[in-house]
Chain A
C-alpha cells in the first residue's frame, strides 16, 4: 500500500545545530507540504513543493529550508535550530492531476516531534 513516512519520529537537539527531518511518500504525488503543529495555532504551512526542483515558502518559513530532487522525498532542514522551533512537524502530499482544486485531499505522515534545548 502507498504511504507517507517521516523520520525520525522523535528528535532532541541543541540550539544552533542543523537538523534535517525526512519525508518519503510512495503515492507518486507531485505536491508535498511541511506543516508545524503547535498548541493554539493548529497547523501552519512551512514550505511546499509542486514538483521536482520546485519549492515555495509558506506562512512560517523563516529558519527552514527544503529541496526537492525527486518525486518521493521532501526533506526539511532547520539551518540553526532555535527553541521556538520545538514543535510537531507533519509532512503531507497530494495529487495534482485534473482540475486544480479537485484533488486537494492531502495525505499526512505520522509526524516528527522535535525538541530544541
Chain B
C-alpha cells in the first residue's frame, strides 16, 4: 500500500535555529513529492515540489527538501527559522499515473522566540 509517514507530530525550535521535518514514503511506483504549509486558520499552500531532475528543491522563503530514492525520504530543512514559519507542514506524494495526492498526518512547527 502507498503511504506517507511524517515521523514527528510536533517540532518546537528556537528562532534562528535550524530545523528538519522528516518525511518517508512507501510506494511501488515512481512518485512525485510535495510539501504543503498550512498557517493557522488557512488552507494549504504548496511550499515546494519534486517532479524530476535535481533531487534538491528549494522554496522562495528558504526551505529546501532533498529527494532520496534509496531511503524513500523527502525531508524538509531550513537553516534558520523565523517566527513566521510557525505552521503545520504536510508531506504528500502522487504515484505516476494518478492525479491523487496521499498526505502525511502533518508536523506542527512551533518557533520559540
Q: Are A and B genuine complex partners?
A: yes
A residues contacting B by CB (< 8 A) are 31, 33, 35, 40-45, 48, 50, 90, 92, 94, 96, 100-102, 104-111
Report chain A residues within 8 Å CB of B112: none
| Pick from B32, B43, B46, B101: contact of A111, CB under 8 Å | B43
* B98 pairs with A101, CB closer than 8 A: yes
- The answer to whether B105 touches A101 (Cβ under 8 A) is no
CB pair B94–A42 under 8 Å, yes or no, is no
Cα A90 to Cα B97 in complex, Å, equals 23
| Contact-residue bracket for chain B | 20 to 34
Whether B70 sits at the interface, judged by CB under 8 Å, is no
Interface residues of B in 42-99 (CB under 8 A from A): 42-46, 49, 51, 90, 94-99
Q: Does residue B34 face the partner (Cβ distance < 8 Å to A)?
A: yes
Measured in the bound complex, the distance between the Cα atoms of B105 and A40 in whole Å is: 6
Given contacts A33-B101, A100-B98, 18 further A-B contacts (CB under 8 A): A42-B103, A42-B105, A43-B90, A48-B99, A90-B43, A92-B44, A96-B99, A100-B96, A101-B95, A101-B97, A104-B34, A104-B94, A104-B101, A105-B49, A108-B36, A108-B43, A109-B43, A111-B43
Q: What number of residue pairs across chains A and B have CB atoms under 8 A from each other?
A: 60
A30 to B89, CA, bound (A): 26
Q: List 15 A-B contacts (CB under 8 A).
A: A31-B99, A42-B106, A100-B96, A101-B94, A101-B95, A101-B99, A102-B32, A102-B51, A104-B32, A104-B99, A104-B101, A105-B34, A105-B46, A108-B45, A111-B42
Q: Is the CB of A106 within 8 A of B101?
A: yes
CB-CB under 8 A from A96, the residues of chain B are: 99
Residues of chain B contacted by A92 (CB below 8 angstroms)? 44
